[in-house]
Amino acid sequence: MVRDVRRRMPTALGLALAATLVVGVAAADAFPSPLPARVTAEGLTVASAVGSYCVTAEQGDAGLCADKILARPGRRHRLSVAPRTVVSFVFRDQPKLRDDVRAASGALLRFDEGERVEGVGRVELRRSGDSWRATMPKQLHRANALIVQTGLEGGGDISHLVSLKSSRRQPLRCPGVFGVPVRAGEIRGMTVPDAAAFAERRGCTLRVVRIDGVDQVITEDFSLDRVNVIVRDDRVAGVDGIY
């Protein structure tokens, strides 16, 4: 099998502008394309826009590499995010390709009005069952797109993009497993036991992360059902976030 000699930049931020390259097949339309991922944030699921990729067929040695111009995806690929928002990726299997994902990494991008792009941050993805999850950083730096580069078990890679509508502040409410939110204003001023009981009735947990200005030792795991509070004079003074 003849391999593509014009390999793309290995980073997710590579701006390779090249024609589609077909290796081992007569034409691009004779080769299956990778499927978009299902991407979920804040209860909304969209399909990713498939970017550049290099894949091999499930059977035989045929392969295809396609380099695409990096552009911000349209509205139907858009998600709303805020600091600490969890974004979940489910990478779909194209039966005719060796496209099982072995690794994934992400980067936040900012496109200007002229479609010039710059990288504004990196995002770590971790496997969680059938999905891969990323937690948005505390500073989004006005990012308006997220690109995720996947490394494939069969060799090669696929990039996926989603458009972002980013907010500077995380919505301070815990959705809870019962679908009844716990909002910051409802527990502010309560004692910790009362606030914990209130949150528990709505399917949420409560954790104290700061007491009288002193940060507490906490675990690094993430939960969408955990409201983290700041305590002053034995009462809830504020909510640090949902994580």
DSSP state of 30: G
Does 15 fall in a domain?
no
- Specify the number of domains making up the chain: 2
Same domain, 153 and 93: yes
Dump the DSSP string for 167-198.
-SS---EE--TTS--EEHHHHTTSBHHHHHHH
Q: What is the pLDDT of residue 62?
A: 85
Rounded to whole angstroms, what are the CA distances from 130 to 58, 154, 160?
20, 18, 17
pLDDT confidence of residue 139: 84
CA-wise closest residue to 21 among 45, 35, 32, 5: 5
Record the tokens describing residue 112, joined without a space: 């200007």
Residue at which a domain ends, from 166, 183, 198: 166
Q: Which of 115, 184, 112 is nearest to 142 (CA)?
A: 112
At which of 135, 166, 197 does a domain end?
Answer: 166
The domain boundary, picked from 166, 200, 233, lies at 166
Instruction: Give the range of the structural domain holding residue 214, as residue numbers without chain letter.
Output: 173-242
144: left (phi over 0), alpha (psi -120 to 50) or beta: alpha
Q: Does the predicted TM-score (pTM) go above 0.75?
A: no
Q: What is the pLDDT of residue 122?
A: 94
In a domain, 16, yes or no: no
Burial class (CB in 10 A: 0-12, 13-18, 19+), 171: middle
Q: What is the pLDDT of residue 171?
A: 63
Q: Are 83 and 139 in contact (CB under 8 A)?
A: yes
Low-confidence ranges of the chain (pLDDT < 70): 1-30, 168-172, 179
**CATH (domain of 224):** 3.30.10.10
> What's residue 25's pLDDT?
40
User: What is the pLDDT at residue 128?
Assistant: 87
A 10 A CB-CB count for 7 gives: 12
Whichever domain contains 154, its CATH number is: 2.60.40.10
**Spatial contact of 31 and 57, defined as CB atoms under 8 Å apart:** yes
